[in-house]
Amino acid sequence: MPEYQLKAVFLFNFAQFVDWPEEAFANAQAPLVIGVLGEDPFGAYLDDLVQSERIGERPIVIRRFRRPQDVIGCHILFVSRNQAAHFDRIAPELKVRNLLTVGDTDSFNRQGGLVRFVTEGGKIRLRINAEAAKRCGLTISSKLLRWAILVTPEKG
């Protein structure tokens, strides 16, 4: 499976292993939004993947944002490489509080990103800044944390 198809699946799977606070949604049926900031590496694959999926009663919607300030009503945000390169500058511009930021650049964690995809020996592994996620009001399932590598911005 091509790398970004797998990463698309992971993005969707985060929706199952992360809990958002109630105020992150307008109501119980409100959709869960997966956003892509910057250049979209997934293409139509991501849209096809989530088309008929639901998390509980929530449908899943894919939105694409060009600029950080555009990011509104989003729960999972994949920050593409061109944007992630200077994520430490972008981050303060993100107005959404309970946002799970995901990226695949080497410095993503250090720059304040919550989840980073790491490719090791052809496999994709996760590095998660659990403490920062908690500060963002997100609860990441221990099952996920158990198999991920936990980092802090300093050690990231």
Partner 1 sequence: MALQFRHLPIQRKLMIVIMVTSGVVLLLTCAAFLGYEMVTFRQNAVRQMSTLGEIIATNSTAVLAFDNPEDAAEVLGALRADRHIVAAALYNKQGRLFASYSAEGREAEFPASIQPDGYRVEGDYMVGFTPVVQVKGATRLGTLYLRSDRKALTERLRLYGGIAGLVVLALSIVAYALSRKLQQQISGPILALAETAQAVSRRDYSVRALPQGDDEIGLLTEAFNHMLEQIEAKNAELEARVHERTMELEAANKELEAFAYSVSHDLRTPLRAITGFAEILLKRPADTLAPEARRCVELIQRGAGELDQLINNILAFSRLGHQALDCHPVDLAALSREVYEELRAALGARRVDFRVQALPQVSATPQLLRQVMINLIDNALKFTRSREQAVIEVGVRWQKAGAEPTFYIRDNGVGFDMNHADKLFGVFQRLHSAQAFEGTGVGLAMVRRIIERHGGRVWAEAVPDAGATIYFTLPEVEQLG
Give the footprint of partner 1 on this chain (CB under 8 A). Answer: 6, 9-10, 13, 15-17, 19, 53-56, 123-126, 141, 143-144, 146-148
Residue 25 or 70 with smaller CB distance to partner 1 = 25
23 versus 147: smaller Cβ distance to partner 1:
147
Show Cβ contacts of residue 17 under 8 Å, excluding neighbours closer than 6 positions: 140, 141, 143, 144
Q: 55 or 61: whose CB is closer to partner 1?
A: 55
* Residue 143 CB, nearest approach to partner 1 (Å): 4
CB-CB contact of 102 with 113 (8 Å): yes
**In this structure, how many other beta carbons lie within 10 angstroms of the beta carbon of residue 76?**
24
**Cα–Cα distance between 97 and 74 in angstroms, integer?**
9
**Residue 75: CB minimum distance to partner 1, A:** 13
> Residue 69 CB, nearest distance to partner 1 (Å)?
31
Residue type, 152: T
Contact (Cβ atoms closer than 8 angstroms) between residue 58 and residue 20: no
Smallest separation, CB 29 to partner 1 (Å) = 15
Strand partners, 129: none
* Minimal distance, residue 94 CB to partner 1, in Å: 24
Residue with Cβ nearer partner 1 (20 or 65) = 20
Cα–Cα distance measured from residue 108 to residue 102, given in angstroms and rounded to the nearest whole number: 8
Nearer residue to partner 1 within complex by CB, 66 or 125 = 125
What is the residue type of 20?
Answer: W
